């Protein structure tokens, strides 16, 4: 999922370089949403992740 957010970030940067404003906004929004979703899932997995035998 982090790979997808980075991909949309790169698409937004390239589109911004060429001046495609609509594509930049859409790709940047997707990158933000996917990044925050990844971050939330990562934090949840830290708390509920697998623990070794104690």
Compute the distance between CA of residue 5 and CA of residue 32 in angstroms, rounded to an integer. 7
Q: Tell me, what's the pLDDT at 51? A: 66
Q: Write down the pTM of the prediction.
A: 0.62
Q: How far is CA 23 from the centre of its chain?
A: 16
Compute the distance between CA of residue 11 and CA of residue 54 in angstroms, rounded to an integer. 46
- 6-50, pLDDT tens digit by residue? 887 888 888 888 887 787 788 888 888 888 988 898 888 888 877
Q: Tell me, what's the pLDDT at 6? A: 81
Q: Tell me, what's the pLDDT at 52? A: 58
pLDDT at 53 over 70: no
- Report yes or no: 1 and 38 within 8 Å, Cβ to Cβ: yes
Q: Tell me, what's the pLDDT at 34? A: 86
Which of 19, 40, 15 minimizes the C-alpha distance to 29?
Answer: 15
């Amino acid at each position: 999922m982090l790979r997808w957010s980075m991909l949309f970030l790169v698409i937004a940067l390239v589109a911004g370089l060429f001046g495609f404003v609509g594509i930049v906004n859409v790709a940047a929004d997707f990158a933000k949403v996917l990044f925050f979703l990844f971050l939330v899932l990562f934090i949840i997995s830290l708390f509920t992740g697998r623990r070794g035998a104690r």
